[in-house]
Amino acid sequence: MVPWAHAVIKEPVHAWLVTDGATKILVDSGGPGPAEMKRRLSVDAVGGGTETLVERLAAVGTRPDEIGTVILTHLHFDHAWNLELFPGAQLVVQRDEVFHAVDPTPTQRIYYLRETLSAVLGRKRPSGLRLVDGDVELMPGIELVKAPGHTPGMQAVVVTTERGRVALVSDCGDSYANWYPANPNAAARPMRYMGEDFLPGTIRSESERVYADSMRRILQRADIVVPAHDERIPKSIPEEWFAVPAAPPPG
Ligand SMILES: [Zn+2]
């Protein structure tokens, strides 16, 4: 038995609905459900899959066929699954991310699943797939910021809201500890020597400097960062919208 066989990992997987009341955009499409996670990764996951996504969208009054655009921050399986729910939507992906999904760095092969690539490449028409290069203003109030680091074609989505500019940073610093490593609220073991610098995540295709530069560029454009896998998201929003949330309880 491996020592961590029974470890519990609190790592939520998110998909974000962005709407002005009329246009409905999904940022990332969530991950596989429990059966897939067990079969492929031997993980006992809770939630996920098409059922959960349909359910969560319904809870905010949205059917999958109302989603016109799905922005994929990158093509890892826990961000770009369930795409069969959105056959009529336009997928928006950085071109470099598609190349990387075809030929990933060896350590990342496990994160790119064939189904995601087929779903993306299966949309040959421009109306079904928009490949972008670099920073793009997708529409007023929604900016894509190319942020190589975690993957070469990673992109963050900066959404202008009534409360300010929110960067859905996905896995470009997937917890608050990456963004504020010296802050005791953000990091269980604060790294005081880091000061205001960024702590790149351990899963990365690019150098630490390239990764940190991407984080810096995002923060220059946003008032708050919302990381993909911080266990405090989304519970601590919007109550503590523009602050690093309080430290989570131990355990
Ligand atoms: Zn990822």
229, pLDDT greater than 80: yes
Report how far ligand 1's centroid is from the alpha carbon of 81 (Å): 12
Q: Which residues contact 33 (CB under 8 A, 6 or more apart)?
A: 45, 47, 48, 49, 50, 51, 52
Angle in degrees, CA 27, 32, 33, rounded to 5: 120
Q: What is the C-alpha separation between 228 and 20, in angstroms, rounded?
A: 22
Ligand 1 centroid to 171 CA: how many Å? 5
The CA 112 to ligand 1 mean position distance, Å, reads 9
CB 112 within 8 A of CB 77: yes
CA 232 to ligand 1 center in whole angstroms: 18
User: Does residue 4 carry a pLDDT above 60?
Assistant: no
Taking the C-alpha atoms of residue 63 and residue 56, their distance in angstroms, rounded to an integer, is: 10
Give a three-class secondary structure readout of 55-110. Answer: HHHHHCCCCHHHCCEEECCCCCCCCCCCHHHCCCCEEEEEHHHHHHHHCCCHHHHH
Question: Could you give the CA distance from residue 172 to residue 228 in angstroms, rounded to a whole number?
Answer: 8
pLDDT digits (tens, 9 = 90+) for 83-97: 999 999 999 999 999
Smallest Cα–Cα separation from 204: which of 149, 248, 126?
A: 149
Q: What sign has the CA pseudo-torsion 245, 249, 250, 251?
A: negative
- Show the domains of the chain with their CATH numbers: 16-227 (3.60.15.10)
Question: Ligand 1 centroid to 168 CA: how many Å?
Answer: 13
Q: How far is the CA of 155 from the centre of ligand 1 (A)?
A: 11
Question: Is 90 exceeded by the pLDDT of residue 66?
Answer: yes
Distance from the alpha carbon of residue 76 to the mean position of ligand 1, in angstroms: 5
| CA 231-233-238 angle, 5° bins | 150
Tell how far the Cα of 143 is from the centroid of ligand 1, in angstroms: 20
Quote the ligand 1 centre to 197 CA distance (angstroms). 21
Pairing verdict, β 129-132 and 136-139:
unpaired
Residue (of 148, 147, 179, 178) closest to 157 by Cα position = 147
Taking only the tens place, the pLDDT of each residue in 163-195 is: 889 999 999 999 999 999 999 888 889 999 999
At 50, give phi and psi (nearest 5°). Answer: -65, -40
Confidence of residue 1 (pLDDT cuts 50, 70, 90): very low
The DSSP element (H or E) to which 116 belongs, if any, is: helix 114-121
3 to 10, 43, 107: CA distances (angstroms): 18, 15, 22
In terms of Cβ atoms closer than 10 Å to its own Cβ (0-12, 13-18, 19+), residue 156 is buried
Question: pLDDT tens digits, residue range 200-225?
Answer: 999 999 999 999 999 999 999 998 89
pLDDT at 6 (0 to 100)? 67
